[in-house]
Structure 1
Amino acid sequence: MTFLFISIVSVLTCFSLAQGNSVTVTNKGPKSENIGFFKNAGAFQPSFTAEKTITVLPGQSKTVEFVAGWEGRAQKLTGASNEPATWAEFHFNAWNDMTFGDISYIRGNNGAMVMTSEDGSMKSGTSENLIAEAPASLRKTDSSGTSILDATEPYTGGKNNALIQYYRSKVQEGQGYIEHTDDKSAHGTTSKQLKLDVY
């Protein structure tokens, strides 16, 4: 009877965890990566103070769980958190209890990311090294010396049209925010488990 009770509790616990909001980060690159998770301070108000940071070794996967309604992003922490970086944006328990997610290059690019849902119903991003393939005139470095691409729409205003044109030649429509009007890149799923591959 005790064994049966423990087995039932174990099954229920696994089921409960499986129904929660989570992102599983897998490092498919050659070096360790520090990933920061930033909860938005409000609508269209990104935070630059990480709520949680994880270190993921090459080939390793780590799962982070989130409370209901969590909205924000994950990014590689190469330079400072407010420097140009690829943003993996997601919102749990949004409209109709759906999960929304996308990869955004609007605030920069410090490495490739691909976001998918556990059930395979959504995908955003690319595994291509868009930084290495970019013309030298578009590349720069962050405060740690990491090679990056700048924001397409800087906080100071305006647009980096040469960079936007480069992305348009590399990123399929609907597979990443290049400009804030790229609404086809916002993907929804009923799944509450997301997978984020970093390269």
Structure 2
Amino acid sequence: MSVESVGKNTVPKQGDSGSVFDAALNGAWKNEWTRREAARDQAKASGNEALAQHFQNELDVLKLMMPEGVPSDTTPPLAGASESEPSKSSVLDTAPPLPTSKSLPTPSNAVAERPKDVPTGNTLNFTNERDTPMTIVFTANAGQPLVPSVTLKPGETLAQSFPEGWSGNFRSSTGDGVNATLGEVAFNGGADGKQTFYDVSYIEGNNARMTIEPSSGGPVSGTLKDIVSGAPDSIKARDEHGNVYGLKKTTNAQVINDSVVSYYRAAVGDGEGYVVPKDDASTLGSNSNSLNVRIA
């Protein structure tokens, strides 16, 4: 298996549905897993440890994003664990530290400045750039501790901390909850257990402008541009009163909506956010465990 073959698009075509769609999608993810395993082993055999680490990071992301699509007889190396050490999952199953939040001092120009006095450890630093209060709702991945929602005042910056190895997503509760911009994060990943993976996903729709980037600086996922106003009416999301609050999902009833995908892809560049499940290049990584999240 050549390294060049990794990452080729194998998304099921529009029109596949039900169990056929699920089987095709799971098969596609398994193929991607196999390709990356082969590429990692090939790089390792050739002595290119940096490239091998790259493909191992991608395997970690695949397992987090769609564990049911990973071959059942395959167990990727756990980040930072040796044969004599317990895995991170077993540590989390014993009493993980409760996540805490802390309101940070909000300067008059908080929208333009990075948060100050950020706590140590796994942290997301949220800034509400709207002129109304905002509630952030967290959804933990299977086996991860629950994190209670937090509410930010207009212009407020708040730091939310997370247990070791936590992964999941978060969203603003704006709109009717059916279509929502998702922020996704996985702490303490990679072969060394020191990588943080993150992205903004539009697969479930759009109800807020959002960006995520490392507090120390680095690649930015998402956009703060207004991508709703100029969208076709047919793809706009409306609440129960008919008011537009965002954009629809890119998938509906297990079928990829090409018209919605095309609009998102034109508005959000490659690598800037997930538009379809196979946007692997949109998963960004950093060695920082503190990320800034701006929501407008």
Please state which band the TM-score falls in when normalised by the shorter chain.
Answer: 0.7 to 0.9
1:148 aligns with 2:249: no
94, 103, 126: which is aligned to 2:189? 94
Aligned residue identity for 1:89:
E
136, 154, 159: which is aligned to 1:35? 136
Query: In the alignment, is the contact (CA less than 8 A) between 1:79 and 1:142 conserved in 2?
Result: yes
Query: In the alignment, is the contact (CA less than 8 A) between 1:110 and 1:146 conserved in 2?
Result: no
Alignment size in residue pairs: 176
Aligned residue identity for 2:204:
R
232, 235, 246: which is aligned to 1:138? 235
Alignment match, 1:60: 156
Query: In the alignment, is the contact (CA less than 8 A) between 2:126 and 2:158 conserved in 1?
Result: yes
Query: In the alignment, is the contact (CA less than 8 A) between 1:139 and 1:149 conserved in 2?
Result: yes
Alignment match, 2:285: 188
Secondary structure of 2:216's counterpart equals coil
Deviation at 1:106, TM superposition (A): 0.3
| RMSD of equivalent CA atoms | 2.1
Secondary structure of 2:197's counterpart equals strand
Aligned residue identity for 1:38:
T
How far, CA to CA, are the matches of 1:119 and 1:88 in structure 2?
Answer: 19
Secondary structure of 1:174's counterpart equals coil
- Label 1:57 to 1:146 Cα distance change in 2 as closer, same or farther (>3 A): farther
Q: Matched residues, percent identical?
A: 33
Deviation at 1:142, TM superposition (A): 3.3
Secondary structure of 1:52's counterpart equals coil
Aligned residue identity for 2:129:
K
Aligned residue identity for 2:236:
R
Deviation at 1:122, TM superposition (A): 2.6
Greater per-residue helix proportion: 2
- Matches for 1:17-32 after TM superposition, within 5 Å: 18-32=119-133
Alignment match, 1:179: 276
Larger C-alpha radius of gyration, 1 or 2? Answer: 2
Aligned residue identity for 2:293:
L
How far, CA to CA, are the matches of 2:196 and 2:272 in structure 1?
Answer: 16
Secondary structure of 1:134's counterpart equals coil
How far, CA to CA, are the matches of 2:239 and 2:168 in structure 1?
Answer: 22
Query: In the alignment, is the contact (CA less than 8 A) between 2:179 and 2:237 conserved in 1?
Result: no
CA-to-partner distance for each residue in 1:24-43, whole Å, 9 max, x for gaps?
10011222111111111269
CA-to-partner distance for each residue in 1:100-135, whole Å, 9 max, x for gaps?
000000011101100011111231000012122211
Greater RCO between the two (CA within 8 Å, min separation 6)? Answer: 1
So what's the TM-score if we normalise by structure 2? 0.56
Secondary structure of 2:188's counterpart equals coil
Structure 1, gaps ≥5 residues long: 1-16, 44-49
